[in-house]
Amino acid sequence: MDKNADVMYRLLVQSVIDYAIYMLKPDGTVANWNAGAQRAKGYTPNEVVGQHFSLFYSESDRLNGLPQRGLDTAARTGSFETEGWRYRKDGSAFWAHVIIDAIRGEHGELIGFAKITRDCTVQQEQQRKQREQEARFRLLVEGVTDYAIYMLDHDGLVVNWNAGAQRAKGYVAEEIVGQHFSRFYSARDRQARIPEKNLQTAFRTGRFEDEGWRYRKDGSAFWAHVIIDAIRDDGGKLIGYAKITRDCTEQQALLRAQREQEQRFRLLVEGVTDYAIYMLDIQGCVVNWNAGAQRAKGYVADEIVGQHFSVFYGAQERMQRTPDANLAIALASGRFEDEGWRYRKDGSAFWAHVVIDAIHNDEGRLIGFAKITRDITERREQEQLLLRAKDLAESQSAKMSALSKFLDNIIANIPSCVVVEDAITREILLVNDRSERLFGVAKALLVNKRPHECMSAELSDYFNSLADTALRSEGIHEREQLLLTASGERILHTRATTIKGEDARQNYIMLIVEDVTDQRAADARIHHMAHHDNLTSLPNRILFRQRLSEALRNDTQSGRQTATLCLDLDNFKNVNDALGHQIGDDLLRAVAKRLRSTLRDHDTLARIGGDEFAIVLPSVGSAEEVAIVAQRLIEAIRPPVNVEGHNLSVGLSVGIALSATITNTPEQMLRCADMALYEAKRNGRNRYEHFTLAMDDVARSRRVIENDLREAIGGRQLKLYYQPITDGEAVQSIIGYEALMRWHHPVKGLIMPNDFIPIAEESGLIHMLGAYALYEACREATTWEGGQSVSVNLSPLQFKNSSLVSVVEAALRDSGLDPSRLEVEITESVLLDDSLGNIRTLESLKKLGVQIALDDFGTGYSSLSYLRSFPFDKIKIDKSFINDMGDSREALAIIRAITGMSRSLDIQITAEGVENSEQFARLREEGCTLFQGYYFGRPQPSELRLKALNNPA
């Protein structure tokens, strides 16, 4: 740099006022001082040049040697940079950003330091407030439990995880942070790249909002309301996404139930055209409105839906709260039926026949009322005219002839059938035109004939019986009956009344007959909907409970027994998932038909949900009689069902409860039958089990253990013990350990896995226990000096969780354990259940570098095809063969076959359960290479595990 440039540079530095820029000599004294330094620290050049720069530090920093350490670092590395409090001439402090650069000569000798200081107090205060605000916001978000709230980075990876997310999706933060959020979607959605498309929408528009199925850690689905907001900084740059998820499964189920109810209502209304049919909610407000209602009452749906149905009543009836009283009657007795004046939109009145039915859901809860209204104004007017004409005829006998003709004219036009008989001879004196159509006989052939001379025996008996009743007592007598007419089987509603003649010696009987077949069909349809399953038309839970209550009450009085059976289809879910709900529905209908055909007429078969059925067998004599029925049901379902070209095979598990063994209430009977069903499924499915009191005790005990196990997981009562695995070729060598879980219960003491692992599998806790075992085993194995492997058992249920591979990967990553040191053990049942999907999971684990062992080989379902479908690293011979090989030639032959096969396939063999030197020696002779059992060492905690063998070879 020439002299002029040097002068310009010095002038530039001196003029900078936002930065304190000055030189220090090698000993730290100030050599020069610019305007920025004077402004920032308050000293003039004359006051500070020649002073040591530690003057700007606090007394505490000087005592700790902080100024000199900064110089030493700059001299050693060339530069030193820091932030901290510095002090002005007046003693006030400011937050400073400091850079010290070492300045050296041409030959590398230190000639001083260049020091730049900037006052960042304002920025520091802003950052502090921002951190406090972020901390408060983070505490707020993390405390929310009803919503899953978390952040995603640009690529959709989870950045953080609140309590609501853990509650909703089952993952703790350690399991999910860093994972892609697509794991909450189904495999089909991931294949269609739905998660990425949703992020793109949020990126493009700022927000994505949707509802759909999402999946928890245990594989269960829930209906979610999802919002994804793109988060950008002040400059508009994307920094990530905020994601809020709420579990709306319950709301979705309610909506679905409501839609199904509405669909059933629409089907009902489409089949009935002469009636106003609509629904009321619990308070009596109109929910929907059909075309018949619009025609009868003049309102369109938009005008009346949401209004209280009392709008159809007169003002006086509303003041007397008659509409509410009618609803109360329907609620108390199940139905209200009446006739009276109702009012249209235009204010005109009509005489209505009204039926109100109370509608309950499957749980017996009132959900509203079905209302049917029919305009019968014309019929009532004709009846009133008839009565007035009769009165007039009686009071004015002189005009009987004219009135008779008038009466005939009226009767001829009444919309109902009218028949007038002589009370004594029963001779038909008068019929109208409607009667011709009903009886299929001309009026001329009916008049002056007795009913049995011109009608069928069934009709004549019906009318004669009513006439007899009317003669015995005054008033109007009504009867309703299904009868065969000229129009086929019809339901006839008949009113019979006596009419006095000119004197007491002459009386008449008037029969007014109305065909109510269509109206009763509509009534029956509503009643059927309230008590039957829509898919199979079988009784639903409400009707089932009524039938069960009736059977229990009747059988208690007669000294007989009532049986309740709970049925569940085996393998139905696989059919539904593979072929769709339509095929599943057709299969359920076919199964229901087979089950119904197997039972007696007075037995009740009900569908109580999904693929679950229940049966009431009244008046049974013994448990053996019920067992025969249960086996007959199982056999009826066994043959394949052909649905749209698919031959579908499902099994049937049955639980049986008898009233003689338990408290005779419907709820208790169902609960006990359900426990027996659970036992049948646990014992292998496609079978039946009787309820026993021991099952109730076991169920209570299992619930206690399950509750204690939940506390144990949170209270760290679970611990891994390690049993050594030895190498037969290098005696005294421990090559690894099998991790075995133990539960240290605070009251019951040590609990072994056989007593709690099955309960963990049934309750879904196995996924958390399995993750804990993997993380803990990998963590503890990293502390072992010998580099031995660690073996962890995987439950078959863990393979149903799509995140299994991610859990193993995370356990390895968090612990830092070499994947080759982790060995996972599976049983053959993993390969029986969804073998193709589970083989792919095993292949993914293999790609991580993990060793795979097939445990308990030789028991249950062993097949060489397993060894061909997947290259296992190790086979473990079940200890039952080891125990029996001294006395059983078959056991020894199996061991020899397994060892010979392993040599051919180059797979290591581990012999489990070796308990003495004789077994060890014999197994070595047979070619076993690895050994495990009490002979070598018992399971111990990691810190107490056996590290070297003491027993002889």
CB neighbour list of residue 509: distance below 8 Å, 6 or more residues apart: 420, 421, 422, 423, 467, 470, 471, 496, 497, 498, 499
| pLDDT exceeds cutoff 50 at 140 | no
* Nearest CA-CA partner of 767 in 743, 792, 794, 741: 794
Indicate the angle between helix axes 581-598 and 572-579, nearest 10 degrees.
150
Q: From CA 434, how far away is CA 201, in angstroms rounded? A: 69
Confidence at residue 861, expressed as pLDDT on a 0 to 100 scale? 47
Give me 213's structure tokens. Answer: 């199925």
575-589 b/e (C-beta count within 10 Å ≥ 16 → b)? bbeebeeebbebbbb
* Nearest CA-CA partner of 926 in 889, 898, 890, 953: 898
For residues 310-339, average pLDDT: 90
C-beta separation of 515 from 415 below 8 A: no
- Could you give the maximum distance between any two Cα atoms of the chain, in Å? 153
DSSP structure class, residue 312:
G
The pTM score is 0.41
Stretch (H or E) spanning 523 = helix 517-531
The model's pLDDT over 228-265, given as tens digits with 9 standing for 90+, comes to 999 998 888 898 999 999 888 887 777 776 667 666 65
Pairing of strands 718-727, 734-745: antiparallel
HEC assignment per residue over 57-83: CCHHHHHCCHHHHHHHHHHHHCEEEEE
CB neighbour list of residue 27: distance below 8 Å, 6 or more residues apart: 52
Q: From CA 286, how far away is CA 309, in angstroms rounded? A: 6
| pLDDT exceeds cutoff 50 at 281 | yes
The model's pLDDT over 732-788, given as tens digits with 9 standing for 90+, comes to 689 999 999 999 999 888 989 988 888 888 878 889 899 999 999 999 999 998 889
Residue 502's pLDDT band (cuts 50, 70, 90): low
Residue 14's pLDDT band (cuts 50, 70, 90): low
Confidence at residue 406, expressed as pLDDT on a 0 to 100 scale? 60
Give me 240's structure tokens. Answer: 């990530």
DSSP structure class, residue 158:
B
* Edge-to-edge strands, sheet with 688-690: 604-609, 612-620, 561-570, 651-658, 688-690
C-beta separation of 115 from 24 below 8 A: yes
58, amino acid identity: S
The residue assigned the tokens 């006051």 is 47
Confidence at residue 931, expressed as pLDDT on a 0 to 100 scale? 92
Q: From CA 599, how far away is CA 744, in angstroms rounded? A: 51
The residue assigned the tokens 């330094």 is 37
CB neighbour list of residue 112: distance below 8 Å, 6 or more residues apart: 23, 24, 25, 26, 31, 103
DSSP structure class, residue 311:
G
Q: From CA 474, how far away is CA 426, in angstroms rounded? A: 18
* Nearest CA-CA partner of 145 in 120, 168, 119, 179: 168
Confidence at residue 862, expressed as pLDDT on a 0 to 100 scale? 47
Q: From CA 495, how far away is CA 502, in angstroms rounded? A: 23
Confidence at residue 516, expressed as pLDDT on a 0 to 100 scale? 84
Candidate from 63-77, 620-634, 696-710 with smallest mean pLDDT: 696-710
Confidence at residue 410, expressed as pLDDT on a 0 to 100 scale? 66
Candidate from 63-72, 99-108, 357-366, 816-825 with smallest mean pLDDT: 357-366
Confidence at residue 81, expressed as pLDDT on a 0 to 100 scale? 92
The model's pLDDT over 630-642, given as tens digits with 9 standing for 90+, comes to 999 999 999 999 9
Pairing of strands 874-877, 851-857: parallel
Stretch (H or E) spanning 188 = helix 187-191
Candidate from 69-83, 421-435, 733-747 with smallest mean pLDDT: 421-435
Q: From CA 920, how far away is CA 77, in angstroms rounded? A: 64
Residue 479: strand pairing partners:
494
Stretch (H or E) spanning 391 = helix 377-395
For residues 508-536, average pLDDT: 80
How many CB atoms sit inside 10 A of residue 42's CB? Answer: 15
The model's pLDDT over 78-136, given as tens digits with 9 standing for 90+, comes to 999 999 988 998 988 889 999 999 999 888 899 999 999 988 888 877 777 767 666 55
DSSP structure class, residue 474:
S
Q: From CA 683, how far away is CA 688, in angstroms rounded? A: 9
What is the chain's mean pLDDT, rounded?
85
Confidence at residue 204, expressed as pLDDT on a 0 to 100 scale? 92
Count helices and strands in the chain by DSSP H and E runs: 37, 34
C-beta separation of 433 from 440 below 8 A: no
| pLDDT exceeds cutoff 50 at 530 | yes
Q: From CA 662, how far away is CA 139, in angstroms rounded? A: 52
Give me 140's structure tokens. Answer: 């707020």
Confidence at residue 10, expressed as pLDDT on a 0 to 100 scale? 55
The terminus-to-terminus CA distance of the chain in angstroms comes to 84
Mapped onto helix, strand or coil, the DSSP state of residue 833 is coil
Task: Kindly report the length of the chain.
Answer: 953
HEC assignment per residue over 614-665: EEEEEEECCHHHHHHHHHHHHHHHCCCEEECCEEECCEEEEEEEEHHHCCCC
Q: From CA 408, how far away is CA 403, in angstroms rounded? A: 8
| pLDDT exceeds cutoff 70 at 859 | no
* Nearest CA-CA partner of 610 in 634, 592, 596: 592
C-beta separation of 23 from 115 below 8 A: yes
748-751: long-range contacts at Cβ-Cβ below 8 A with a sequence spacing of 24 or more? none
How many CB atoms sit inside 10 A of residue 17's CB? Answer: 13
C-beta separation of 735 from 789 below 8 A: yes
Give me 795's structure tokens. Answer: 């439950």
CB neighbour list of residue 858: distance below 8 Å, 6 or more residues apart: 877, 878, 881, 894, 898
CB neighbour list of residue 219: distance below 8 Å, 6 or more residues apart: 800, 801, 802
Mapped onto helix, strand or coil, the DSSP state of residue 174 is helix
How many CB atoms sit inside 10 A of residue 654's CB? Answer: 28
Residue 270's pLDDT band (cuts 50, 70, 90): very low
* Nearest CA-CA partner of 949 in 730, 654, 625, 751: 730
Q: From CA 322, how far away is CA 315, in angstroms rounded? A: 10
| pLDDT exceeds cutoff 80 at 366 | yes
Confidence at residue 138, expressed as pLDDT on a 0 to 100 scale? 58
Share of the chain above pLDDT 70, in %: 88
Mapped onto helix, strand or coil, the DSSP state of residue 724 is strand
Share of the chain above pLDDT 90, in %: 34
CB neighbour list of residue 527: distance below 8 Å, 6 or more residues apart: 357
CB neighbour list of residue 10: distance below 8 Å, 6 or more residues apart: none
388, amino acid identity: R
* Nearest CA-CA partner of 569 in 590, 550, 549, 545: 590
Q: From CA 314, how far away is CA 322, in angstroms rounded? A: 10
Q: From CA 728, how far away is CA 922, in angstroms rounded? A: 12
Confidence at residue 664, expressed as pLDDT on a 0 to 100 scale? 72
CA–centroid distance for 798 within its chain: 19
